[in-house]
A and B are shown apart, each in its own frame.
Chain A
């Protein structure tokens, strides 16, 4: 048994979808080249961009930072990072500490924003309420709002998130199964809004399977927060993920074919289901909103905060 690329007998990975065998060096190289290819193919970066990396300290965001930093080293872009502390006891602090160390190691501007400090309530406190809507609902909305605000404050021109192939395929299937065509049309490698307050979002790891990102950080000895969010099992996403992974065992290319199929129908969906962007402003926080209150503020009102 030897590496399909260089012949090295120390193989660390077998790609199920292609049967390709890779040694450590060729595996690392293949991941970095594939991300760079996605960046170029999808035109995710422009020279002079300041990219805000949403850095949780987990494998996906650390990999995003590590690979985008190669563009920074070549003076193509500048990078800053933001870590959101949702307030999840015995879970989040380790990730925050790791994120701080990566930002220091690379010498990049870094900010930590806590839900408790920004909104007066932590996710743990929300989950103690009887009328809560499920952890992921709040986490997603508050995080997005915090990241958008920080991008403006830090003068970022792009927001990079660590969404991987598994995340993207789960999102496609979740939105389709829920009949949420509006959200379905918003997925993709690069999402832009007509509202100028919303910074362009990019997903450089969109074509890399989650497992390969896990192997990449171990192979590169990158410090990451490997742990489970205590609220993860409550999510619909978790159920969808299980089904897709089961299918992948017999059909190893199914995640890629789902993604490719989605990319083909996306332009048609965007055209057919074009929605007007938010012209109004949230009465409470001033963020763009098509309703009296933005989503984050309507949650806060419901929670009595």
Chain B
């Protein structure tokens, strides 16, 4: 079970570590705040509580940089 992560220059396959693994769990792993990114699952905007499924493409867009 894996998904593709796209974030800035990252474009990689990652394993889904457990059942009900959410985008929020992924953000915590990447040490990213949900306040600074928006998430797309297979091209559609979703909230961070969304569960990541096998073969999903998860695209994280950083929207807040400061300054």
- Show the binding face of A for B, using Cβ within 8 Å: 1, 10-14, 21, 24, 59, 210-211, 214-215, 217-219, 226-229, 231-233, 235, 238, 241, 245, 248
Q: Are A241 and B66 in contact (CB under 8 A)?
A: yes
Number of interface residues of B (CB under 8 A): 16
Distance in angstroms between the alpha carbons of A147 and B45 in the assembled complex: 36
Residues of B near A1 (CB, < 8 A) are 49
Q: Are A232 and B67 in contact (CB under 8 A)?
A: yes
Q: Are A238 and B63 in contact (CB under 8 A)?
A: no
Q: Are A233 and B66 in contact (CB under 8 A)?
A: yes
Query: Who on chain B is nearest to A136 by CB?
Result: B67
User: When the two chains form the complex, which single residue of B44, B49, B64, B67 contacts A214, counting CB atoms closer than 8 Å?
Assistant: B64
Distance in angstroms between the alpha carbons of A111 and B27 in the assembled complex: 40
Q: Are B35 and A211 in contact (CB under 8 A)?
A: yes
Distance in angstroms between the alpha carbons of A13 and B49 in the assembled complex: 10
Q: Are B67 and A231 in contact (CB under 8 A)?
A: yes
User: When the two chains form the complex, which single residue of A217, A218, A227, A245 contacts B65, counting CB atoms closer than 8 Å?
Assistant: A227
Ordered by A's residue number, 28 sampled pairs between the chains whose C-beta atoms are within 8 Å are A1-B49, A12-B47, A14-B47, A14-B49, A24-B45, A59-B63, A210-B64, A211-B36, A211-B64, A214-B38, A214-B63, A214-B64, A215-B63, A217-B63, A218-B45, A218-B61, A219-B45, A226-B61, A226-B63, A228-B67, A229-B65, A229-B66, A229-B67, A231-B67, A233-B66, A238-B66, A241-B66, A245-B35
Residues of A near B46 (CB, < 8 A) are 11-12
- Show the binding face of B for A, using Cβ within 8 Å: 33, 35-36, 38, 44-47, 49, 61-67
Task: Give B29 Cβ to nearest chain A Cβ, in Å.
Answer: 19
Distance in angstroms between the alpha carbons of A21 and B65 in the assembled complex: 25
Residues of A near B33 (CB, < 8 A) are 245
Distance in angstroms between the alpha carbons of A214 and B38 in the assembled complex: 8
Distance in angstroms between the alpha carbons of A217 and B63 in the assembled complex: 9
Distance in angstroms between the alpha carbons of A238 and B65 in the assembled complex: 10
Task: Give B42 Cβ to nearest chain A Cβ, in Å.
Answer: 12
